[in-house]
A and B are shown apart, each in its own frame.
Chain A
Amino acid sequence: MHYSFANRRRLFLFLMATPAVLYVAAVGLWPLAQGIGYSFYKYNLLRPARTQFVGLQNYIDIFSDATTRKAILNTFQFTFFSVGLQLVLGFALALLLWRDSRFNRAVLAFLLIPSTITPLVVGLIFKAMLGADYGIIGYFLSDAGIGPRSGLLTDAGTALWMLILIDCWEWTPLMTLILLAGLKSLPGDVLEAGQVDGATAWQRFRLLILPLMLPSVFLALTLRTMDAFRVFDSVFVTTGGGPDDATNTLMLLGVKEGLQFFNVGFASAVGNVTLLFIALIATMLLLVVRRADVRINGK
């Protein structure tokens, strides 16, 4: 009797999980697998008759072609600097908002608006504000002699940095929120002990708060890095990858090749390389989290 109940329970749970697993497999994994298949072919939808198996050629092209190499470098530069800046800014804001008060909760709600707004609209706002001719920021900067004449988003030297700035504006609030949750779950007694010992604010931060926060920090980093690496919306709207290839990113390259030029084979290879990079970065960051966890719990 007991045995049959356990079996029925198992069957029930199995049936509850099955639809989602099958759905993700059919709509997610199956296309992914097909994409891996396509990536070994020279396959253009506009010239289907000329489809041919090319082995690893698409992948070789990604790493040898100057345009695609630039896109890879840009993606890494963008991810590194925008996530790094967001971490520093987000941590500072989280510390400022740490004390639990109605004021701080209300401020946080409004601070989160940039992260909820449509990313496409974010791109449009900044494109308008940074323009050198009429943009409210761009005009004053170029009038004061700071910044390029042609406009911050259209100059090869500044465009990528402007995209990093836009990303920081958009996602620092979310970073703040995640780190704030980490701060609020810190053990209160440890922090009070620090206060009694008469440690300075900086000592408390460096010796008490920061080590305890490492797991939260790395989890926030993992999450934001995965998203930043796939940046698309704001780049597509503001620069479209230009000038030349100065702000081209992997996602932008894949979307242009695949859905505008219908180079299915090459675009699939770009998508797979992006996925591989993200998986590698995420694994590395998660390994660091685990080590930080062991170090803290080991103490």
Chain B
Amino acid sequence: MARVSTRRVVFERVTILLITILFLLPVFWLISTAYKPSNQIFSAPPRLTFEPTFDQFRQAFAIFDVVSLVRSSLVISIGTTVLSLLLGVPAGYALARSKSRFAPGFAYFFLAIRMIPAIAALIPFYLLMRDIGLLGTWWAVIVFNTMLNCAFVTWMMFSYFKALPPDMEEAALTDGCTQMGAFLKVAVPTVRSGMIACALFCMMFSWNDFLHPMFLTTLDAKPISVALLTAYGTKDITWGTLGALAHFSTIPIVLMALFMNRYFVQGATNGVQ
């Protein structure tokens, strides 16, 4: 695309900038509620100026055990991510390198897991967790989310390994390297960016998830997403307090996606091929 007039570039940039700002307005609104005094968030007519305050944060910390909520979210999402990668990366590698005619079929099977509406498996899983006594704990959520995520990781890593010629591993194997050595020392380092993309997506999925923990965890194990929902239904919690609490749910994941944008783009576009 050569020879484009400066005028057109400026026009395109202004358009896209305006659209992006429009997309970000609701986020700004949410963030701003946390710094407004309660009587200025909603007023008829709504007003655009306010005197900033940190009262809402004080309120949020007074009502919620924010640290424990964030810790639950972290345990669930890091646990899910680690387990999904431990299961999914070797499986993706094996399916990509296998010469068996069943290998592509298995890869598509893992992709198909993506289609499952959670509710179809969640109810029997709920009963299963109740029977073995894990219902209400972090483990119940981690076990279920790992199933969904490791299938996704297997498919993603299958396509990453598939795009990588096997020559280097074969050379290492003929040089007397062990099978595990060829996998860990030769194959895995070359797909590092793919693994980071997978980890980012697993983190995002589990951190943002609230349907599964809502039913699978109890009060002391609930993550911040579930707390936000229960807080919403309560009368004495104002919108500002909710906005303050929402900071802890949205800001970490948005920052992660912004700083790891390269991997986000890579993962989102790789997942469709």
Binding site for B on A (CB under 8 A): 5, 8-10, 12-14, 16-17, 19-21, 23-24, 27-28, 30-32, 34-35, 38, 45, 93, 96-99, 103-105, 107-114, 116-122, 124-126, 128-129, 131, 133-136, 139-140, 143, 169, 172-174, 177-178, 181, 191-192, 216, 219-220, 223, 226, 229-230, 232-233, 236-237, 250-251, 254-255, 258-259, 264, 267-268, 270-272, 274-275, 278-279, 282
List residues of chain A with CB within 8 A of the CB of B124: 30-32, 34-35, 38, 268
Cα(A143)–Cα(B46), bound, Å? 11
Complex-state Cα separation, A215 to B211, whole angstroms? 33
Further pairs besides A108-B261, A114-B27, A259-B122: 6, Cβ < 8 Å: A20-B91, A21-B106, A23-B147, A113-B23, A116-B264, A181-B265
Give chain A residues whose Cβ lies under 8 Å from the Cβ of B253.
Answer: 116-118
- Expressed in whole angstroms, the Cα–Cα distance for A260 and B76 within the complex equals 23
Q: Give a binary string over B121-138; 1 marks a CB under 8 Å from any A CB, 0 the rest.
A: 111111110000000000
CB distance from B138 to the nearest CB of A (A): 15
CB of A125 within 8 A of CB of B91, answer no
Q: Is the CB of A251 within 8 A of B119?
A: yes
* Secondary structure call for the B interface: helix
Q: How far is the CB of B192 from chain A (nearest CB, A)?
A: 18
Contacting A254 at CB < 8 Å: which of B33, B119, B179, B232? B119
- B contact residues, range: 35 or more
A-B contact pairs, 11 of them (CB 8 A): A17-B106, A19-B90, A20-B90, A20-B151, A24-B151, A35-B124, A113-B23, A113-B254, A169-B23, A177-B269, A255-B119
Check if B249 sits within 8 Å of A118, measured CB to CB. yes
B208 within 8 A of A: yes
B56 to chain A: closest CB distance in Å? 14
B160 contacts the other chain (CB 8 A):
no
